[in-house]
Amino acid sequence: MYNELPADEQSEIEQALVHDADLAAKCADLLLAQRALDSLRQTPRSATVQSILQYSRTFLTAS
């Protein structure tokens, strides 16, 4: 799914997908889920960042 396998292992997986319909269907589901997750927001909202920063200031001590 992320093209992280060596070429020989990737070839074996591709052959397994060709010959196993259930495996191919599961792989297709995983690819759809991957695309859906990749399209989600990847940065926190500004309000979330501000809340974390405000909370972290409670641990600062006067020097």
Q: Is residue 62 part of a domain?
A: no
Domain span at 47? 7-57
Q: Is residue 2 part of a domain?
A: no
Q: Is residue 15 part of a domain?
A: yes
The domain tally of the chain equals: 1
Distances (CA, A) of 6 to 1, 9, 11, 20, 42: 13, 5, 9, 21, 28
CB of 23 closer than 8 Å to CB of 17: yes
Residue written as tokens 């196993």? Answer: 20
pTM of this prediction exceeds 0.95 = no
Q: Is residue 23 part of a domain?
A: yes
pLDDT tens-digit map of 25-55: 999 999 999 999 988 878 889 999 999 999 9
Q: Is residue 63 part of a domain?
A: no
Q: Is residue 34 part of a domain?
A: yes
Percent of the chain at pLDDT > 90 equals 68
